[in-house]
Amino acid sequence: MPAKNTSAGLLLYRRRGGGLEVFLGHPGGPFWARKDAGAWSIPKGLVDADEEPLAAARREFEEETGARLAGPFLPLGSVRQKGGKVVHTWAVEGDVDPATIRSNVTRLEWPRGSGRWLTFPEVDRCGWFDLATAREKINPAQAEFLDRLAEQVA
C-alpha cells in the first residue's frame, strides 16, 4: 500500500522544431496565484491504497487536465521532493491543447484557520514549454524528469 506521501504523474511530451516540449500544469488556488518560477508541475497526484502507481498517474492526469492518454508509457523513475513526497513519473508522447483543459476542483480553508472555505481548480492552467523554459518553471525536484526524458528519447 503506497504511503500518503507517494504521488504518480505523467510527463506528456511532443517533438517540435528539432527539440522536445513538455506539458506542465500550474496549481490553482490563492497560494500559487502569483507564483511562476518553480511552481509548475507534472500533472500528478496521490496514489490510492492498493492502486498501481501507473494507474494513479493516468487517473491524475485525466482529473487535472480532462485528457485521457493511451501510452505507451516510458518509466522515468522517481524523485523525492523537498517536502519528502516521492513522485513516480512516466513519459508519454502526445499532444493536448492547453486551452481545452478541465481540472477537477478542490476546497481549501483560506487563509488557514479563518473558517473561510474556497473552491478552485486543482490546476488553473497548463502549457507547453521547451526543456530550457520548463527547467525554470517546474518544481526543482521534478527537473530531474526532464533530464531523464531527454536522455531516453534523444
- Please tell me the class of the 6-153 domain: alpha beta
Cβ atoms 149, 78 nearer than 8 A: no
Residues whose CB is less than 8 angstroms from the CB of residue 149 and which lie 6 or more positions away in sequence, other chains included: 11, 13, 20, 22, 74, 76, 91
Q: What is the pLDDT along the chain (154 residues), one digit of tens a residue?
A: 455 789 999 999 999 988 999 999 999 988 898 999 999 999 999 999 999 999 999 999 999 999 999 989 999 999 999 889 999 999 999 999 999 999 999 998 988 899 999 999 999 999 999 999 999 999 999 999 999 999 999 7
Cβ atoms 57, 44 nearer than 8 A: yes
